Amino acid sequence: MEDRHKKILEILKEQKRVKVHDLSKSLNTSMVTIRKDLIILEGKRLLFRNHGGASLESPYVNDRPVSEKEFINVSEKAAIGQQAAKMIEEDQYIILASGTTLLAMAEYINPHNKLTVVTSALNVGLKLSQRENVEVLQLGGYIRPNSYSVIGHYSEMILKETVCSKLFLGVDGLDLKYGLTTTNALEAHLNKNMINSAKEVFVLVDSTKFGKKSFGLICGLDHVDHIITDNKIDQDTAKEIRSLGIDLIICD
């Protein structure tokens, strides 16, 4: 057993992330045994288990300020944002949640005809208010300094009185089993209200957030219609997402 554990850690150190079925084949051991090995090794704090495997990196996400996050995965977020903007049709009513990927998306929104945008993000609302054909309904409430977004009862009241064609949602974590999460429970609750107010849900997420979890649960993947991500997504993850009936859009 110790030799097998040593080999698992060696493989993990080299690949950073491993799947149970791959370890089973490599070590000629049953998947049941590999899962037990991973539980033991996680108990020793030598790795972190995730859906279908393990990694050296913790799957749990902590809150970080926008001023820090906006410099992470910049090109991936720009590609995702540009692709998401193409999903908008003329004369629609849409919801944009908060996050740096949504701010990147706002750069590419410049419709020829009228577009109404409901948003919780102050930076997104400010940027889009400068576009000639965009009408912005800025949700109100308490401001979260780390995200420049609003949360609370006032925002939720407005959302309960609106119906929009599409919601574009950013998340801090996307776990195939657990669902969509964000670092703030109140923001997660607001995101749930956004989902209830939209006919179609698009999740904008760069590939580093797959397999991650955070404090506030937004919803399961059964509420998601489309996921837009970058081309660094793991192929097994992509295959599993599509098996759930979700439209997966991968940006080059």
Q: What is the mean pLDDT of residues 72-76?
A: 90
Its CATH architecture, for the domain 2-55, is: Orthogonal Bundle (1.10)
pTM value is: 0.80
Q: Residues of CATH 3.40.50.1360 domain(s) within the chain? A: 66-251
For residue 17, pLDDT over 90 is answered with: no
For residue 133, pLDDT over 70 is answered with: yes
pLDDT for 46: 87
Burial of 68 (C-beta count, 10 Å sphere; 0-12/13-18/19+): exposed
List the CATH code of the domain at 66-251.
3.40.50.1360
Q: Residues of CATH 1.10.10.10 domain(s) within the chain? A: 2-55
pLDDT for 66: 66
How sure is the predictor about 146, in pLDDT bands with cuts at 50, 70 and 90?
confident
| Mean per-residue pLDDT over the chain, rounded | 92
For residue 230, pLDDT over 80 is answered with: yes
pLDDT for 61: 77
